[in-house]
Structure 1
Amino acid sequence: MSEKIKLLLNTFTKDEDRTVSARFMASDEVKKARSFHESFKEYEVTPLVALDSLAERLNLKGIYVKDESYRFGLNAFKVLGGSYAMGSYLAQKVGKDISELPYDKMVSEEVRKAAGDVTFVTATDGNHGRGVAWTANRLKQKSVVYMPKGSSEIRLKNIQAEGADASITDMNYDDAVRLAAKYADEHNGLVVQDTAWEGYTDIPTWIMQGYATMALEAKEQLKSLGVERPTHIFIQAGVGSLAGAVQGFFAMEYPDDVPVTTVVEPDEAACYYLSAKEGKMSSVGGDMQTIMAGLACGEPNRLGFDIIKNYSTAFLSCPDYVAADGMRVLGNPVGTDTRVISGESGAVTLGALYRIMTDESYAEYRKNLKLDENSRVLLFSTEGDTDPKKYREIVWLGHDSELLQELKER
């Protein structure tokens, strides 16, 4: 286990008025997204788990984990973004604001007739595609889903079970996104992707606002626990839409005291770490083999990047064993702490925090991130065991390099 967690402090030049990059994540926009989510009968607030015993062991004031394995019965948070974007698009198509079209009205015969038939198209490692397929099904529309090579067959079957035309390609994630865009262009479909490019910003904006429903929930849940604000947030990044959404929301909520925020990535797909190193938005290519399939994205989302550039404190590049550590620690709690079943992409932030707080070789990281006995750390476990077989192999068999290499290559 020679690979180490790597940390870079944020040295990007901030925008003169950095709030401009995050204004679309203001609470009034996020509350509109949550109201739409609340209109689905499947909506419930997901748990915020206070790991008090673990916090005491790590010499922290508190650790709070938002457990998204309960989200809409889909075992992951991604449906929050896709559903809000798809709903917003249909509302726009019929000349309404989404606040006027809760779920029941959106699927009414009158609105469906005005909107017409829509085919929603996306690329995904699994969770986002399942959310898009689920939402298309609920909205009585069609969906087409492309998955990058190496994607889980179980995740593919879960997407197909929602009625999607889904398949695994021989491409990496970013090329699968381009394939989805090509298909949508040729078949009059709509791409639902959480990354922006020229002429394509509305959908990723809505997706990020949808993601922030869980950030708004977390803020309210912290207050119910007597915590005014988190001092620290560790947030994972693929293209950076989730990280940007969470940072943008909390930056707008606490403009005078923004939480110390650390972006966490797999070392094989660390496009934000690379961007920080090079001082500009940069991309990672290749197959990006990592067990953290949901984070295996090499090209940043410009909307997320602008927020992250302006508000992040630091960037972490993490070997796969860090995610495996997090899965085991969450799944085998200390003292009276509640167990959290967290998948590879969901657990890496806890794994990184655990390593930094327990390994003396990371003492400088603790100092740079101002982690001490007064720190209240907020984490988001973005998925449960969306591939149960893979989850069990990692948790049961350990994090030795040979096993992880085998899992990455499957």
Structure 2
Amino acid sequence: MERVNETYGIKAVVSDIATEGFPKIFNEEVVEGVRNFHASIKGYQATPLVRLDELSKELGVSRIYVKDESYRFGLNAFKSLGGTFAIAKFLCEKLGVDIHDVDFEYFKSQEIKEKIKDIVFVTATDGNHGRGIAWAATQLGCKSVVYLPKGSAQRRVDAIIEAGAEAYVTELNYDDAVRLATQKGEENGWYLIQDTGFEGYEKIPNWISQGYITMADEALDQLKLDGIQIPTHVFLQAGVGAMAGGVLGYYVNKFKGNHPTTVIVEPEQAACIYKSALAGDGKPHNVTGDLNTIMAGLACGEPNTVTWEILRDFAKAYVSCPDYVSANGVRILGNSIGQDKKIISGESGSVGVGLLSLLMVKPELEELKNDLGLNENSVVLFFNTEGDTDPENYKKIVHEGKNPSIF
């Protein structure tokens, strides 16, 4: 069922949720292995779960929680979770060991570093994933090469170089940059660590999605400390869908038959998950073109084939949003109400909050709000997946009103 609101430019597909068939790659054994590995990394600590009581009152829901990943390993984004775990799994296969038997420090021993020092990892990124791969590779004494799509913010490029990688901005969109990285890897004997799954390349994207379990599991632990066993709703932003599929896949396994109502949110110019859901044939569908959006981390036109089926079967709605929705979210989180804590959120991390702010107060969106069961009893969880990774654009949104509301 499609909902299109011409007033606010929001498009949504609302679907039935599967009650059978659970994605086993996100089971409890995997969760334990992932969290134990991340906990072994120097500097690891759970990122904050911020409760926004004043915003909850203003929007008319019971509680709003934001898992703030801008604190993760000092990298200002969540992507290092997937990258470090995937690289560790890859190296374990190379070395013939089980990841359950080693920790991050194992790979940093002189003996192991000597064995892996000539390995070169390659990837394509909008910024955050590439920085995470560069950081992990450098920590382990390996090299990395990162390709970025055209228009990438200079600060994101600089951050990747500072993390230890070679970085190249291409004249390609994200998906073509992935193809370039794949080609360069084949030509040079480099190893592709990419969060986009495609035919013949699914194992490593699986590992990356598994790496995101850590933040999803941390959030549940933190909610329990606040007396909440399970949120009623989770808003997950999607690029290729690796993070959204990983978090949703874990919650489906955790709460079999009773997982939170999950809303997938995308930029309208790169809404490949929405387009795939709209097609109704169960297959992933691509979006082409420049994929121009302020939500650079979500500017992906081709769904991850690994996680698409999880999103297809277990999400309740798929929503395409204009850029102003994300900009509103940036401003809402950055200008807290009353005693609520200020959250610095980048454009890709804020779009879910921006959407909720419209759903709860605009009569024209009431039908979609009701479809999702959002009301005064709702406990809503968001993941702020990045801080101000493009400080100049962040300032333009917050200080200068870039991408203003259309109402």
Choose the corresponding residue for 2:328, options 316, 325, 329.
Answer: 325
Equivalent residue runs for 1:214-229 within 5 Å:
214-229=215-230
Question: How many Å apart are 1:256 and its aligned residue?
Answer: 2.7
1:346 paired residue number? 349
Equivalent residue runs for 1:314-393 within 5 Å:
314-393=317-396
2:11 paired residue number? 6
1:213 paired residue number? 214
Is this contact kept in 2: 1:234–1:378, CA < 8 A?
Answer: yes
2:101 paired residue number? 100
Question: Which letter does structure 1 place at the counterpart of 2:340?
Answer: D
Distance 1:265 1:102, change over 3 A: same
1:380, 1:226 → 2: CA distance?
A: 19
Question: Which letter does structure 2 place at the counterpart of 1:303?
Answer: V
1:201 paired residue number? 202
1:189, 1:101 → 2: CA distance?
A: 24
Q: Pick which of 190-199 and 315-324 moved more.
A: 190-199
Question: How many Å apart are 1:104 and its aligned residue?
Answer: 1.4
Is this contact kept in 1: 2:20–2:257, CA < 8 A?
Answer: no
2:87, 2:249 → 1: CA distance?
A: 21
What SS is found at the alignment partner of 1:122? strand
1:248 pairs with 2:249: yes
Question: How many Å apart are 1:111 and its aligned residue?
Answer: 2.1
What SS is found at the alignment partner of 1:167? strand
1:344, 1:250 → 2: CA distance?
A: 25
2:340, 2:372 → 1: CA distance?
A: 25
Cα displacement string for residues 81-101 of structure 1 (whole angstroms, at most 9, x for unaligned residues): 011000110011111111222
Choose the corresponding residue for 1:306, options 281, 293, 309.
Answer: 309
Cα displacement string for residues 46-96 of structure 1 (whole angstroms, at most 9, x for unaligned residues): 000001111111111110000011000000000100110001100111111
Question: Which letter does structure 1 place at the counterpart of 2:250?
Answer: F
1:65, 1:302 → 2: CA distance?
A: 28
Equivalent residue runs for 1:287-306 within 5 Å:
287-306=290-309
1:343, 1:162 → 2: CA distance?
A: 20
1:66 paired residue number? 67
2:278, 2:88 → 1: CA distance?
A: 38
1:399, 1:371 → 2: CA distance?
A: 29
Cα displacement string for residues 239-265 of structure 1 (whole angstroms, at most 9, x for unaligned residues): 001110110011111113111000000
Question: Which letter does structure 2 place at the counterpart of 1:366?
Answer: K
Question: How many Å apart are 1:3 and its aligned residue?
Answer: 4.6
2:346, 2:264 → 1: CA distance?
A: 18
1:58, 1:402 → 2: CA distance?
A: 17
Cα displacement string for residues 175-197 of structure 1 (whole angstroms, at most 9, x for unaligned residues): 00000001111111111111112
Distance 1:194 1:329, change over 3 A: same
Question: How many Å apart are 1:26 and its aligned residue?
Answer: 1.3
Question: How many Å apart are 1:7 and its aligned residue?
Answer: 1.4
Question: How many Å apart are 1:389 and its aligned residue?
Answer: 1.1
What SS is found at the alignment partner of 2:212? helix
1:155, 1:217 → 2: CA distance?
A: 27
1:135 paired residue number? 136
Question: Which letter does structure 2 place at the counterpart of 1:106?
Answer: F
2:53, 2:403 → 1: CA distance?
A: 29
Question: How many Å apart are 1:329 and its aligned residue?
Answer: 0.4
1:46 paired residue number? 47
1:402, 1:166 → 2: CA distance?
A: 35
What SS is found at the alignment partner of 1:209? helix
1:123 pairs with 2:124: yes
Is this contact kept in 1: 2:61–2:376, CA < 8 A?
Answer: yes
Question: How many Å apart are 1:401 and its aligned residue?
Answer: 6.4
Cα displacement string for residues 126-185 of structure 1 (whole angstroms, at most 9, x for unaligned residues): 000000000000010000000000101111011011121101000000000000001111
Is this contact kept in 2: 1:94–1:115, CA < 8 A?
Answer: no
2:29 paired residue number? 28
What SS is found at the alignment partner of 1:18? coil
Structure 1 unaligned segments of length 5 or more: list them.
Answer: 404-410
Question: How many Å apart are 1:113 and its aligned residue?
Answer: 3.5
Structure 2 unaligned segments of length 5 or more: list them.
Answer: 1-5
What SS is found at the alignment partner of 2:243? helix
Question: How many Å apart are 1:400 and its aligned residue?
Answer: 4.2
2:228, 2:405 → 1: CA distance?
A: 42
Question: How many Å apart are 1:363 and its aligned residue?
Answer: 0.5
Equivalent residue runs for 1:115-194 within 5 Å:
115=116, 117-194=118-195
Cα displacement string for residues 282-337 of structure 1 (whole angstroms, at most 9, x for unaligned residues): 10000010000000000000111011011000011000000000000001111211
2:363, 2:351 → 1: CA distance?
A: 19
Question: How many Å apart are 1:31 and its aligned residue?
Answer: 2.0
1:374, 1:89 → 2: CA distance?
A: 44
Distance 1:257 1:17, change over 3 A: closer
1:220, 1:78 → 2: CA distance?
A: 20
1:263 paired residue number? 264
Compute the TM-score of the two structures, normalised by the length of structure 1.
0.94
What SS is found at the alignment partner of 1:234? strand
Is this contact kept in 2: 1:18–1:310, CA < 8 A?
Answer: no
1:307, 1:395 → 2: CA distance?
A: 35
Compute the TM-score of the two structures, normalised by the length of structure 2.
0.95
2:338, 2:81 → 1: CA distance?
A: 32
Q: Pick which of 116-125 and 225-234 moved more.
A: 116-125
2:340, 2:381 → 1: CA distance?
A: 15
Is this contact kept in 2: 1:11–1:276, CA < 8 A?
Answer: no
Q: Percent identity?
A: 49
What SS is found at the alignment partner of 2:64? strand
1:30, 1:152 → 2: CA distance?
A: 34
